[in-house]
Structure 1
Amino acid sequence: MEDIEAFGARGERARLFPVLADSSKEGRTLSIVLATLAQVPEFSGSILSAIGRRSGTRTKVEAFTEVTFPKRKGDNLRPDGLIVVSTGRSKWSAFVEAKVGSAPLKQDQIEAYLRLAKDVGVDAVLTFSNEFAPLPEHHPVQVDRRLTRSVDLLHFSWFSILTTINLLAINDEIADEDHVFLLRELERFLLHPSAGLKRFDNMGAEWTALLDHLRTGGTISKNSPEALAVVSNWHSELRDLCLLLSRKTGATAELKLSPKHRSDPRERIQQDIKHLADKCHLTGTILVPDAAAPIDVEADLNTRTIRVSMKVDAPQDKAQQRSRLNWLTRQLKDVDGADVHIKTNWPGRVAQTSSTLAEARDDDTVHVHPDRSVVPTSFVVMKMVAEGRRFAGRKTFVEALEDLVVNDFYGSVAQCLTAWRAPAPKLRAAVDEGESDFVDAEG
């Protein structure tokens, strides 16, 4: 217990089987997660890696709950947990604050823990809740920036924790059978309603208000609270989509973010609000390991249409227009082509051509240019949903988007596509083994 006493604190070690009141859902869920974190190195290593902390064979993780500071009079601050990570000669520590169900994280509480962390020498404040963030360092609650100059503020959604556990287990990354058993049991527990875990499933009242405003001829102000709420919820849904794809594919899907947006989430929100105000579009890009291309997702609030697409480069080893198109259609030979759209991009200012996959199969001249020397440079493969009623619903929009991205587009199209790769160079039969391609400089 000396690690926790070094901060002037007291607490109980996190237990796999906590003895707590039935009403203490947060305490029970957190205790079980932290106890597993301390016992399964692969689990703690994955979490630490996500926040930029190294771990290895010498890493020791200790976790405590019911943390108090008896020597500090008057503030009565009681963080839900404390994690202490020892790696050789260095140590890293974090207060933990957890919320389950619909309970939101509170700004004043988080700021109080940030001040406490600075006072007692704790390095970070780590929160768990059902709120989503694109990256652990992009916290869903805005706090006074001065408080995070010396103390890191980090966040994991419960669903991201569940996804991490699932990927570790299904990818056989853990050799110890007891550790695999612990993770499987933790996953089973978190999936039970009593654990208080929830996925993102609602775009909020602002979604309906914004769509109604557009329908009556209004415009979107980039300074409106509705635009801020809609973009924030869109970011949450994109993160949830990544986690859902990760669980479905067994690979870690991630959002594609520019370095600037990765380091400054506020800048990302402001830029997406401006794009929403100017174009009435919400956009995002998802990276799936080894997929043929990134997956682009777009919600058009004017036409109430969701579009999902991939842009794949045309094969460079095929010199004819039809050969390049056939390379694509052959990969999608078992796909229902009626609702799959293909767009062909040409070099220079040549106009884009488009058709359904079914039309391209029936008549390959649809994607032919009169100048035979011009060949396609890339193809966009797309599916869309244009159901106004589902689009307008706070929950049905999320359901329609997830069904289109995960089951319909990825399941029937994206997983069938393979990016073109240049073939290996062939041996040149005309070159005799006894002859050199080089001329002696002195000869």
Structure 2
Amino acid sequence: MGASWVTTREAVASGTLRPGYKCAPEVAARFDALLTYVSLQLGRKLGEDVTPALSRKELADPALRSQSLVQSMSTQGTLQGAINIQNAVGPLVVTTDLRAGVVTCHVDIAAPRDGRATTRVNWLLRQLRHAPDSTRVEAFVMHGRGAGTAELLRAVRDQPALLIEDPKKDLRSFRIALGSPIGSKRGRGRGSFIDSVENAINTFYGDIVQDLRAWTAAPPRLREVPETSDERPSLTSTALSSQDGAEADEIPQQPEDGHLLPPDVPDERWDTDSAGRPSPSLAGSRPGTPDPSI
């Protein structure tokens, strides 16, 4: 961390560090270099791109990043940065509190957009099966300002409702954080600042971040359409030809001379005897038959 690390850390711990402290920019630059180094080492283990997370303004003006770190050291006693890991739920944020001697890693994850508040908390707990009990879980509500509810994971596992302040309010997001002591030595090895930060990042990613999956809505399902019969309905024809069989007996018989008789009146001119021959009394009435009396 450089030759100015010990004096700068002591000034931060005592609260005497000011923004104009000449050694502070060097420590800030060393901290960014540490995040770059840890990103490269983690990326080599994962086989994916891992890079420090910087805003557009910080990328355009590196001096702005240094000023921000010096300001946070003098006012809050902290150094903070973040790294982007490909396909992770969000940036892994690293905060070193030089006054408290603690390095904290945290990641934010959006809560599901449907279900009750308890259902959303249980959704997160299922993904934290490998996380240590000392992990801190925070919950933030929709349109809420300020800090949300916070509990240790060991308590939330027993009572998920501890993260729910108002069941009527929808949860917007969660923050999962894990802290560990930082070393004070400026070099490498056990008890050094560099190794403590690197170990904290690797542990947090391995126990928590790599198991987290962002919530996705279920795809819409097809509506069930009622089955229709393939049989076509029978149609009754209204044509006269279809009524021939039913009305054949009702059509009046028409004799050869063209005179129409009622259907119930027999035509006496065509009566026959029992042998089927024309009756003598009626034969004279047949057209063209001579009268025997003449």
Same fold (TM over 0.5): yes
Determine if the alignment matches structure 1 residue 316 to structure 2 residue 108: no
Partner residue in 2 for 1:394: 186
Distance 1:269 1:393 in 2: 22
Normalized against structure 2, the TM-score is what? 0.71
Alignment of structure 1 residues 258-277 onto 2, 5 Å: 258-277=55-74
CA apart distance, 1:351? 5.0
Amino acid paired to 2:186: R
Pair 204,346 (structure 1): closer, same or farther in 2 beyond 3 Å: same
Pick aligned residue for 1:303 from 76, 100, 108: 100
Partner residue in 1 for 2:234: none
Pick aligned residue for 1:210 from 1, 5, 8: 8
Partner residue in 2 for 1:363: 159
Higher RCO (CA < 8 A, seq sep 6+): 2
Amino acid paired to 1:332: L
CA apart distance, 1:263? 1.8
Amino acid paired to 2:185: G
Distance 2:122 2:99 in 1: 35
Instruction: Give the greater-gyration-radius structure (CA).
Output: 2
Amino acid paired to 1:362: D
Describe the SS at the equivalent of 1:213. Answer: helix
Amino acid paired to 1:209: T
Pair 235,427 (structure 1): closer, same or farther in 2 beyond 3 Å: same
User: Does the 8 A contact of 1:280 with 1:300 survive in 2?
Assistant: yes
CA apart distance, 1:383? 0.7
Cα deviations across residues 381-401 of structure 1 (Å, max 9, x unaligned)?
1111135xx2x2113111011
CA apart distance, 1:404? 0.8
Distance 2:12 2:68 in 1: 20
Alignment of structure 1 residues 53-132 onto 2, 5 Å: none
Distance 2:65 2:145 in 1: 32
User: Does the 8 A contact of 1:293 with 1:419 survive in 2?
Assistant: no
Distance 1:393 1:225 in 2: 21
Partner residue in 2 for 1:198: none
Amino acid paired to 1:393: K
Partner residue in 1 for 2:46: 249
Pair 315,432 (structure 1): closer, same or farther in 2 beyond 3 Å: farther
Alignment of structure 1 residues 164-243 onto 2, 5 Å: 203-215=1-13, 217-243=14-40
User: Does the 8 A contact of 2:15 with 2:74 survive in 1?
Assistant: no
Pair 423,232 (structure 1): closer, same or farther in 2 beyond 3 Å: same
Cα deviations across residues 199-251 of structure 1 (Å, max 9, x unaligned)?
xxxx1231211122234x34222222221111010010011111011111110
CA apart distance, 1:365? 2.1
Partner residue in 2 for 1:71: none
Pair 292,218 (structure 1): closer, same or farther in 2 beyond 3 Å: closer
Partner residue in 1 for 2:138: 343
Determine if the alignment matches structure 1 residue 419 to structure 2 residue 210: no
Pair 206,330 (structure 1): closer, same or farther in 2 beyond 3 Å: same
Amino acid paired to 1:228: P
Describe the SS at the equivalent of 2:4. Answer: helix
Partner residue in 2 for 1:76: none
Cα deviations across residues 119-164 of structure 1 (Å, max 9, x unaligned)?
xxxxxxxxxxxxxxxxxxxxxxxxxxxxxxxxxxxxxxxxxxxxxx
Pick aligned residue for 1:354 from 133, 137, 150: 150
Structure 2: stretches of 5+ with no match in the other structure: 229-294
Distance 2:78 2:176 in 1: 19
CA apart distance, 1:255? 1.4
Distance 1:366 1:218 in 2: 36
Partner residue in 1 for 2:285: none
CA apart distance, 1:271? 2.4
Cα deviations across residues 76-98 of structure 1 (Å, max 9, x unaligned)?
xxxxxxxxxxxxxxxxxxxxxxx
Distance 1:257 1:212 in 2: 28
Pair 310,330 (structure 1): closer, same or farther in 2 beyond 3 Å: same
Partner residue in 2 for 1:382: 177
Structure 1: stretches of 5+ with no match in the other structure: 1-202, 434-443
Pair 345,263 (structure 1): closer, same or farther in 2 beyond 3 Å: same
**How high is the sequence identity, in percent, across the aligned residues?**
28
User: Does the 8 A contact of 2:12 with 2:77 survive in 1?
Assistant: no
Describe the SS at the equivalent of 2:179. Answer: strand
Alignment of structure 1 residues 27-46 onto 2, 5 Å: none
Partner residue in 1 for 2:130: 334
Number of residue pairs aligned between Structure 1 and Structure 2:
223
CA apart distance, 1:431? 9.8
Distance 1:274 1:245 in 2: 28
